[in-house]
Structure 1
């Protein structure tokens, strides 16, 4: 028995052949031949992503421990014969676990590295083939809690004002740098008085706008709690009302 075309384990793992033997008198016998195809390490491992981006901060690095994980890369190999994949990197700030692909800090980061990005290469090997991906880690500084300019706000409007009228503005402040993720503020509105949420909402700048024409005969006072949240981990609430 000779091969006509090469076999590929990734396409089929075994073959069944039927061999018929026929003599001159017309008698015949059939034999079944099972061929098991062995897997060879002929495939290159591949990462789930061509590019990875993770975020860490100075605050978390100051409490560094072996369990502080910044992120994780993952690769697969179609070859079953590959017992394990080995990860490595060329970074002198971050280590990578050779078996799991988990990335962690080697030592606490310097405060001078605030708002910087570090890019390095990670490779994975199956013993014969090597694949590479790029990892970028954004380093954030200490995250400050946002504050409001006032502890309470009061606005007054006339009834029957048109939709999209600006009632007023709630102003939050954050010591973090503008343009950074932790310095970007968002506002959300929660009504205390019934049905008030149908008449007003807040924009990303803290402006309170009319969404339905208010009627003083139906309801004179609308009271809310507004929350300002940064994109780090902190938030602050303040109440306001108007009539």
Structure 2
């Protein structure tokens, strides 16, 4: 009986140790995964975003500056939509900036998001020397340094009503182009495609029920009015 008791005790200890090891391993794995998905800024090597960024930044590599985690981006946009002024756009919420590796200064690509009332003058084209475009139902304007994309985002719950009268806007700034004179239409289209893909991450995080940016970006420049 005593031998049996000792064996049972040893088995119990081994079992508890194994369970503890599994729990600790799961905790470590979960923590690692969470660190990868808790923000919207990760760019996977060889992805479309990666190719576009390297071309726009003219660099083989880049560093990522995370301005706000996913929860902060979503909370800020939801809060701003609830109290949106019917006459003007909300302040933008910064998400990410990308800078060429080993380069100092302000040369980067930066992405911010907010809301603009559909009847506001802020929703009208306003960029100096900007060209208008449409991309899978979203639309906006772009010049050498800035792309502004407007997207219909049908929000769920109590945000459904205010989202019916507002556009989600993305503002992508490309200070990496400062001083350049070779930004042609193809370059602007690349900037617009990248803004579209980064905005898709935000519409997914917000849970836009109309899923507005599911298709691959196909940029169509529009004639100047």
Larger relative contact order, structure 1 or 2 (CA cutoff 8 Å, min sep 6): 2
Q: Which has the higher strand share?
A: 1
Computing the radius of gyration from Cα coordinates, the structure with the larger value is 1
Q: Which has the higher helix share?
A: 2
